[in-house]
Amino acid sequence: MKIAFIGLGNMGGGMAANLVKAGHEVRAFDLAEAALELARQNGCATFATAREALQGVEAVVSMLPNGKIVDSVYLADVIGVAPQSAVLLDCSTIDVATARKVAEAAGAAGYEMVDAPVSGGIAAANAGTLTFMVGGSEAGFARTEPILARMGKAVIHAGGSGAGQAAKICNNMALGIHMIGTCEAFAMAQKLGLDPQKFYDIISVSSGQSWSVTSYCPVPGAGPQSPADNDYKPGFAAALMLKDLTLAMEAAETAGVDAEMGKRARELYQAWVDAGNGAVDFSGIIRTL
Ligand code: NAD
C-alpha cells in the first residue's frame, strides 16, 4: 500500500519504520530535516512538502504535536489534496473537539477519517507494540485496522468520531492519578520504615496494585526495570502527562464533569513542570513527596 506519513518525530519515526517493515511504500513528510534523514535510513521516501508526499497515496497517517497543528495540516494540506479514495488516520493526541471538527471537514470533502491515538511510549512505537483507540465509522475502522495492526499490539474501535481521543485522555487521567497515588504510597511506606522492595512485593499482589506499580514502579531498585532505575529519564515525559491532563480537564469542563482527582493531578504536574521538570519522566514526581 502507498501510505503518506506526516510527523516523524519520537513516535512517528518508529511507526513509519514499522509500516516499511510490513511492506508498505511510505512517503514521509516532516518540517525537521533530522526527522526526514532518520526516515530515509528507515526506508521511507521523503518529500519537501506534504502535498508532494500525498501524491497517489491510499492512506495518510499523521503523528503531530497538538490539535492546532493537526487542524492546520489537514485543512491546508491534506483535505482536497490527497486522492479522495485515501483513508485518513490521525494518531496524534489532541482535543476531542478538534478531532471531530477535522474529521467532519474530511467527511464533507468525501474522505473517510478516523482519530487513532495511542497508548505506549517511544519504545512501544519502535517495537510496534502500541495500543490504538480508534474513533470513526465501522467502515473507517475496517479500512484502518489492518494498517494500525502493523504498528501496534491492540487496535480497538472506541466508537464514533472523537471517541479514540476521549478514551485516550480518560485513560491518561487515570494514569496520572494512579501514578501520584503510587508515589505517595511508596514515599509513606518508606517513612514508616518499610523496605521499598518488600512493599513492592506486597502491593503488587494486593488491592493497591496498578500499572504504575507493576510496570512502572516509581522507586529505584523496586519492581521491574523502569525510568526510576535510569535517573527518571523518559519514558513518558512529565510535559506530555501535563498535556494529556490539560486535555482531560478541558474535556471534563465541556462534558460538565467535576473530575476532582484529575484536577488535582493536573495542578501537581503543572507545578512540577513549571519548576523545570518537563523533560523528566512523569514518575519522577515522587521526588517532590
Ligand atoms: P515529537 O515532537 O517528537 O514529533 C512531532 C513531529 O512533528 C516532529 O518531528 C515535528 O517536526 C513534526 N511536525 C510539527 N509540525 C509539523 C507540520 N506542520 N508538518 C509536518 N511535521 C510537523 O512528538 P512525539 O513525542 O512523536 O509525539 C507525537 C504525538 O504523539 C503527540 O500528539 C503526543 O502527545 C503523542 N504521544 C506521545 C507519546 C510519547 O511518549 N512521546 C506517547 C503517546 C502519545
Domains assigned to the chain:
2-160 (3.40.50.720), 166-288 (1.10.1040.10)
Average pLDDT score over the chain? 97
> Does residue 219 register a pLDDT over 90?
yes
Would you say how long the chain is, in residues? 289
Question: Residue 289's pLDDT is what?
Answer: 86
Tell which atom from ligand 1 comes closest to the C-alpha of 29.
20
Grid cell, residue 20, equals: 516499511
- How remote is the CA of residue 83 from the centroid of ligand 1, in Å? 24
- For the segment 176-185, the average pLDDT, to the nearest whole number, is 98
Q: Exposure string (b/e) for 31-46, b if CB count within 10 Å is 16 or more?
A: eeeebbebbeebebeb
pLDDT in tens, 49-86: 999 999 999 999 999 999 999 999 999 999 999 999 99
> Does residue 121 register a pLDDT over 90?
no
Question: Residue 110's pLDDT is what?
Answer: 97
> Does residue 235 register a pLDDT over 90?
no
Grid cell, residue 187, equals: 514515599
- What span, in angstroms and rounded, lies between the C-alpha atoms of 168 and 119? 7
Name all residues whose Cβ lies below 6 A of ligand 1: 6-12, 29-32, 35, 63-65, 69, 73, 92-93, 118, 121-122, 236, 240, 243
> Does residue 1 register a pLDDT over 90?
yes
- What span, in angstroms and rounded, lies between the C-alpha atoms of 132 and 145? 9
| Cβ neighbours for 238, distance < 8 A, ≥ 6 positions apart | 269, 272, 273, 277, 278, 279, 280, 281, 282, 284, 285
Between the CA atoms of 282, 287, 288 and 289, what dihedral angle is there, to the nearest 10 degrees?
A: 110
pTM: 0.94
Grid cell, residue 144, equals: 484502518
- For the segment 136-144, the average pLDDT, to the nearest whole number, is 98
Question: Is there a contact between 134 and 145 (Cβ–Cβ < 8 Å)?
Answer: yes
Residue 13: which of 155, 129, 125 has the closest Cα?
A: 125
> Does residue 211 register a pLDDT over 90?
yes
Question: Which residue among 68, 153, 168, 198 is the active-site one?
Answer: 168
Nearest CA owner, ligand 1 atom 39: 121
Beta 118-119 vs 25-29: how paired, if at all? unpaired
Question: Residue 18's pLDDT is what?
Answer: 98
- What span, in angstroms and rounded, lies between the C-alpha atoms of 37 and 206? 48
- For the segment 148-176, the average pLDDT, to the nearest whole number, is 98
Backbone angles phi, psi at 220, to 5 degrees: -60, 140
DSSP state of 177: H
